[in-house]
Structure 1
């Protein structure tokens, strides 16, 4: 369909039909589903009529080729101009084949596998009739109390940007037109949703524009630079205005400064939520502010269909704004090839072949292996096949390891830890006991666990959060493991046997008491459909841990937010001339996190030596090289993530103590060494100054190179201007 044809189609639409294109409704509103379009309960309160439904432009939460085709067919028969629906869904870390949660994927530091995971998710979801995924979520986050940390890739703007690009490439490929097996991506949540005060979901965000641009905006921009087709607004305020009604954010920055010409959609109910936010007196004003700000699609509230017509007729809203929004939606439908084939991708037979295939499960297992982070190991791991193992804990035989946003995944199909371990040792070598549930315990289970542990050489204790304890609306003030699990660990510790703790969770936890009692700790996160197999591969040494943290683990929740790229103060702890008391510190805990950004252990050891920089001075139009020798000094093959950080020692505004600028993931055999080379150029030294100019400063810089943000070698150079 040409531009002229699209324009002609737009001109045929009545005002009500145009407004309908700006509405997204959930599956139960539509015919062709199991609910046959019957609106019940809270949905009826929205006042949605059949006339509204037949004009609606997109559907949320529809998946399954048969149902997708049935809904589309029924809609086309009722829509006057037969304009197809856009089918959208939350395909976040897999469709049916569930990959590790995004925070875990971030910890792989593997951009190729991240891209592959999105490509596989798109392949499965496309065959099931989905056109658009509400992913990637690229919100930078520094507060583990927020449940949605599991949906981001961490606390660093550079690394988040790299993963944003990888996910968009994976979902979209190079061509969305027709049956390509790809999805249009929708980056979210614009903007700064990860900075909600107190780590409480939907809460206020308040920060300077400089901080917004420096840390929170880069990953969204990276996704858009990679071609991301859609943007979802955040629930939170930005500079006192909810994102869904923030004209400066959406019109001025997103469309004006960044030249984004794709579709903007609100999050669920966010347009109407401007009323409780206190910036709209009623639904009419909410509709007015959203359309003026540039929200093209209103998700699951009826402010647009109920009020836009009157706002246009009264002269409060220029119909041209509606035309612009409709055209963007029609252009996306054209780009997806929906006018030629409204059933794009949906194929019952291909769905059977592609969804949850062996090939896809193998990829999920590989990424799960790479995502796990070994936090502690006092010569207990890897396990030996002949050892007698007591496998204890609420996750010993539990399929709830997919994590939030895995709505089409099956916990029944997930490989449990016990089953994964049976692939490495005889059943007679593993005795299983639950010990406790996630938050409670029965006396008989407690005693069974203690009796089981007495028979073992090593205790493997599978602990963590159930999936409802993280994700959206999963904020927690106490981020320790539930008390009953800590009690179980303490009781087992009294037996004096080696304890390996495997953690299944969606956020960094306060692990102090776990570290004190466990001999080894493997952070498995929510590892997905093949999680039990992947974890067992690591426990028995068939694979070597290579994951590295992309979010700091706090020593205590009282430190939060705690992150590696923080500022110094005028009275830093440890300064040569500082008084012991009058410095920036806690009196009762360290300033530093328990485990820093970039941290992770292996079954081998790596030695860094010979770090050097090519010249002491960087002219503004030249590059420097930073090199270091990395040697595998252990007895096992392994992968190391070599990390490069920079600090501007005297900026126009305060600069972080360290900023990640590059990394290399290398594989080394025992005894093997490799020289790792980084290229550093002036553009990497730029930042937003007090006037928001993006530039670098002449002066001295420190370069840090090492295996994590804490254990580094420092070099110096000077930038000339």
Structure 2
């Protein structure tokens, strides 16, 4: 049987797109504008929802969260592609994923690594500060994603950590725009290569035009955090890392939920904001890739006992069809987390949306599927290769080395510095596996009073929030609760103490820094990687990727859009000792 033009790999991409669009029904076009989650069935089978999403609604972009082992995931991916191939036009599926190569397990931001190699959080890669290391990390992410059929990375984050309380800082490359720009560009190149092609994973850089300058540090996943404010007038400063992503060829952009307050732009969420998407992103920057709205801006969702409100900030009075029209007219191509294809069909039939406007987005989406080779050699993956590639020993070793290289030595007190620790000591540990620590210490003791030194791993402080979703975000105050602060200070007073702070955000650790024998910061690391630094098996070289404020008063008095704006920080950006 002769191939149709869109099925023929020898036909140029734009001609294939033209041919396929001409054959599509409004329903088939509408399906390309939505990007909901999809789940694996038991043992890699197709879930009950798959038939409706693929067979009935004609959707072909899906976001995955929990995955089985690599072999099972590859087999499931192939079954999903087989089901898509059986549709009228056989349009292949594109699967996307949040970050899944670090330590955070937060379904709203990242996914626990599982079988994948484990690296520091992105903020730790900023502490290492090495663009080539970031490119290598992204290349390994690319290889592991490709092996199981993941073709779109919902990362990197090009946002800046200018508001110390913001819960998403761990996913950024820090507070300095120029460092972030270098690392964002390296990450995009590592995922995509020099040009987007069959061996690429497409980078969806987020969250345009820059999350981070949040009022009071609250996050716009929640209505109380919807406002982005610019009292320092630095809106354009937050664009610098995105400009690097554009220059690197990043193929997709995700706007954030937030709405700008007190600027020249309309006060509506960025995916509805024609000033920002149509005029700035599409117009001034000439971006012609896919723009995908952040998840659930159209409809509320019920996840069992949990209700998730629709995050249509500034357009709450609009119904779903009106929101679809406003976002598409603003320049959006896809809606993350949504499956409202029938709404688009109705809008086309009523004339409220033109076929030309829908075709522009359909063209962008199809163009990328062709470039990624999904219609051709990259539709299916090899389960044997998936098992061999994901979490390969070399990948794990490189991730472990990056964990060491991202650990920052903040203080090392005494005429004879406390670190590196000598061999043969009696060591008291907290939040460190005693079996791992036994490979470094002379003896692991159960009581600080019996120890020569204490080594404590401590999470950065936060305010626990009620609610299923709020509990996933470490928000609020950066100060330790009084009881925990006093407990740590008591141990430090009783025995020389090494504190390792895991910093997913800055922390107010002024008293702790003055009391402990040594203070380190890690950004997602295994116990062994941290202990390699503590015991001198690795020499620390990392630098702090943000300022560490001296007090919450200094944080409250700072401007959320301005970098390095807290008064008299305890440690400055770029601080880091060695030995």
TM-score, normalised with respect to structure 1: 0.68
Q: Deviation string for 1:544-574 (max 9, x for gaps)?
A: 11111121111112212659996999xxxxx
CA spacing shift, 1:484–1:468, aligned 2, 3 Å: closer
Task: Indicate yes or no: 2:56 matched with 1:61.
Answer: no
Distance 1:468 1:477 in 2: 5
Q: CA deviation at 1:521?
A: 0.5
Aligned to 1:500: 498
Alignment of 1:287-686 (within 5 A): 287-303=324-340, 305-344=341-380, 346-378=381-413, 379-391=417-429, 393=430, 395-397=431-433, 418-425=434-441, 428-431=442-445, 433=446, 452-465=447-460, 474-495=473-494, 497-527=495-525, 531-560=526-555, 562=558, 591-603=567-579
Q: Deviation string for 1:289-313 (max 9, x for gaps)?
A: 011111111112244x232223223
Aligned to 2:48: 38
In the alignment, structure 2 segments of 5+ residues that lack a partner are: 1-10, 68-72, 103-112, 300-309
Runs of 4+ in structure 1 deviating by more than 6 angstroms, as ranges, are 30-33, 466-472
CA spacing shift, 1:274–1:482, aligned 2, 3 Å: closer
Q: CA deviation at 1:111?
A: 1.0
The alignment partner of 2:456 has SS state of strand
Distance 2:276 2:559 in 1: 26
Q: CA deviation at 1:21?
A: 0.8
Aligned to 1:11: 22
Q: CA deviation at 1:421?
A: 3.6
Distance 2:256 2:544 in 1: 26
Is the Cα contact below 8 Å between 2:213 and 2:561 reproduced in 1? no
Q: Deviation string for 1:299-352 (max 9, x for gaps)?
A: 12244x2322232233222211100100100000011001113535x2211122
Distance 2:186 2:77 in 1: 28
Is the Cα contact below 8 Å between 1:26 and 1:59 reproduced in 2? yes
Distance 1:466 1:39 in 2: 40
Greater share of residues in helix: 2
Is the Cα contact below 8 Å between 1:32 and 1:67 reproduced in 2? no
Aligned to 2:94: 86
CA spacing shift, 1:501–1:158, aligned 2, 3 Å: same
CA spacing shift, 1:18–1:225, aligned 2, 3 Å: same
Distance 2:191 2:42 in 1: 27
Q: Deviation string for 1:621-641 (max 9, x for gaps)?
A: xxxxxxxxxxxxxxxxxxxxx
Q: CA deviation at 1:542?
A: 1.4
Q: CA deviation at 1:165?
A: 0.4
The alignment partner of 2:48 has SS state of coil
CA spacing shift, 1:49–1:359, aligned 2, 3 Å: closer
Q: CA deviation at 1:36?
A: 3.8
CA spacing shift, 1:419–1:499, aligned 2, 3 Å: same
Q: CA deviation at 1:39?
A: 4.5
The alignment partner of 2:242 has SS state of helix
Q: Deviation string for 1:148-201 (max 9, x for gaps)?
A: 0000011111111111101111111235433x3x41111001122111111111
Distance 2:568 2:194 in 1: 43
Q: CA deviation at 1:98?
A: 1.6
CA spacing shift, 1:209–1:14, aligned 2, 3 Å: farther
Q: CA deviation at 1:231?
A: 0.6
Distance 2:563 2:211 in 1: 22
Distance 1:209 1:511 in 2: 26
Is the Cα contact below 8 Å between 2:152 and 2:203 reproduced in 1? yes
Is the Cα contact below 8 Å between 1:199 and 1:475 reproduced in 2? no
CA spacing shift, 1:552–1:563, aligned 2, 3 Å: farther
CA spacing shift, 1:117–1:357, aligned 2, 3 Å: same
TM-score, normalised with respect to structure 2: 0.84
Distance 1:359 1:541 in 2: 23
Q: Deviation string for 1:241-269 (max 9, x for gaps)?
A: 21111112111111111111111111111
Task: Indicate yes or no: 2:143 matched with 1:117.
Answer: no
The alignment partner of 2:229 has SS state of coil
The alignment partner of 1:193 has SS state of coil
The alignment partner of 1:98 has SS state of coil
Distance 2:349 2:521 in 1: 58
Q: CA deviation at 1:134?
A: 0.5
In the alignment, structure 1 segments of 5+ residues that lack a partner are: 41-47, 398-417, 434-451, 570-589, 604-721
Indicate the structure whose relative CO is greater, using CA pairs within 8 Å and at least 6 residues apart.
2
Is the Cα contact below 8 Å between 1:22 and 1:57 reproduced in 2? no
CA spacing shift, 1:50–1:601, aligned 2, 3 Å: closer
The alignment partner of 1:10 has SS state of helix
Aligned to 1:587: none
Match of 1:278 among 280, 296, 315: 315
Q: CA deviation at 1:278?
A: 3.2
Q: CA RMSD in A?
A: 2.8
Is the Cα contact below 8 Å between 1:274 and 1:280 reproduced in 2? no
Distance 2:338 2:361 in 1: 17
Is the Cα contact below 8 Å between 1:372 and 1:523 reproduced in 2? yes
Is the Cα contact below 8 Å between 1:501 and 1:520 reproduced in 2? yes
Distance 2:478 2:518 in 1: 20
CA spacing shift, 1:469–1:332, aligned 2, 3 Å: farther
How many residue pairs are counted as aligned between the two chains? Answer: 522
The alignment partner of 1:88 has SS state of strand
Q: CA deviation at 1:479?
A: 1.5
Aligned to 1:219: 241
Q: Deviation string for 1:481-511 (max 9, x for gaps)?
A: 354532331332342x211111223111110
Match of 2:83 among 74, 81, 96: 74
The alignment partner of 1:500 has SS state of strand
Is the Cα contact below 8 Å between 1:31 and 1:71 reproduced in 2? no
Q: Deviation string for 1:494-534 (max 9, x for gaps)?
A: 42x2111112231111102212321110111222xxx2222
Aligned to 1:237: 259
Aligned to 1:407: none
Distance 2:345 2:421 in 1: 68
Distance 2:563 2:368 in 1: 43
Is the Cα contact below 8 Å between 1:68 and 1:128 reproduced in 2? yes
Alignment of 1:165-184 (within 5 A): 165-178=185-198, 180=199, 182-184=200-202
Q: Deviation string for 1:585-611 (max 9, x for gaps)?
A: xxxxx92111111111111xxxxxxxx
Greater share of residues in strand: 1
